[in-house]
Copies of this chain bind each other. A is one copy, B any other.
């Protein structure tokens, strides 16, 4: 089938308004938020309104042998949703219905185009809680969260997206519809296909519906902030929290460069003191006496590890204000230039070594690197600041990006804690999982997508 014939068929099947080819428009659907990743020029951008439209698109592209790059809002940070030349970009944002909230069984059924925050708000009305909260929660979609197995601040207590998934509906390479998983909280009937598709970054099928488990709504959080004059002391505090069996609902870390940026942006002294090298932010959502006890234990550990400032509050507004410093870091870094955020996860005992490594790399490449991260699970986001008009600085930023992954792996970590592999970490994935792991990936991909049309070249290359 020629490209023109494919476009005609898509317009027939989905309606003219669902098939975009104006390059001014399609350009805005051809990238996510990762500047390092290459992107191509799509043949068309398709926005189906329902699962039948997704199936029709997949079938038409299969016949024309045209690759499909699925995407949601485009908030990704790995280039997984970036177009490749001549592909169809399949945008899932119009499948945006919350199909069902079943409070009696604490579950919901949701389409991929629903924005994370809208979904959170909808289930909250039923007294329920959907934990996954990536930083882009106010605009990223559930479908993107599923495809990248997104995390967020909640993970230290509530896990990542896959931990909330009970079942999926998926359009397969031949256009057929797979229903996998279940509505019950337990079930071992067959392979765990749902969790195979979660995090597969659109390379195995198109997720068109998810059944997710919900939690009881937690209590309003109490918040603790603690400042340390060395990252080693902050790292030791994190390790002690883990070792002593505490499970805060949030535990974030900011290094000196992050603190400085946040203070400059907020035009305020966040109370860390001028020689502060690391800030820990912790919350407990257990409520009442338990939260107070948890906060007291966290504060004690911080003090024992040499914090020279520790402040706790159970006032929600004040807690939010304290957290604001953490939330604004990436925006604040734009004061200095463009940024490139990395994503490594290390064992929780190795966090301060990672931060030290980033400081060394910063000196080597001569660029500012600010480290913020989810200390509670070891998932760090060292963020490199560079001048986007300087090819040299961009090249040095890329070098720093790779050097950070190198340090992460050497500490027993993984090259991506929550952002995914996409088009920027293919070689790093191969290095982490080794030749046997890569072969198994290729075997599974070939089994489910024999023509290699689902997001080809993302995550890994076929042999």
Which A residues fall within an 8 A CB radius of B?
A: 102-106, 127-128, 148-149, 151, 155, 160, 162-163, 172, 176-180, 182-193, 195-196, 198-200, 204, 215-217, 239, 242-247, 286, 289-290, 345-349, 374, 377-379, 412-421, 425, 428-429, 432-434, 436-437, 440-441, 443-444, 446-448, 459-460
Contacts and interface: CB of A to CB of B under 8 A. Distances in A.
B216 A247 contact: yes
A434 B348 contact: no
A394 B183 CA distance: 32
A105 B187 contact: no
Contacts of A425: 189
A24 to B, nearest CB: 34
20 contacts: A103-B243, A104-B239, A104-B243, A105-B242, A105-B347, A148-B188, A151-B186, A160-B188, A162-B195, A172-B440, A176-B436, A179-B434, A179-B436, A184-B378, A184-B414, A187-B414, A189-B421, A190-B433, A190-B437, A195-B195
A417 B246 contact: no
B190 A444 contact: no
A81 to B, nearest CB: 15
A244 B128 CA distance: 10
A242 B127 CA distance: 11
A379 B160 CA distance: 24
Contacts of A379: 184, 186
A188 B374 CA distance: 15
Contact of A186 (B179, B180, B239, B417): B417
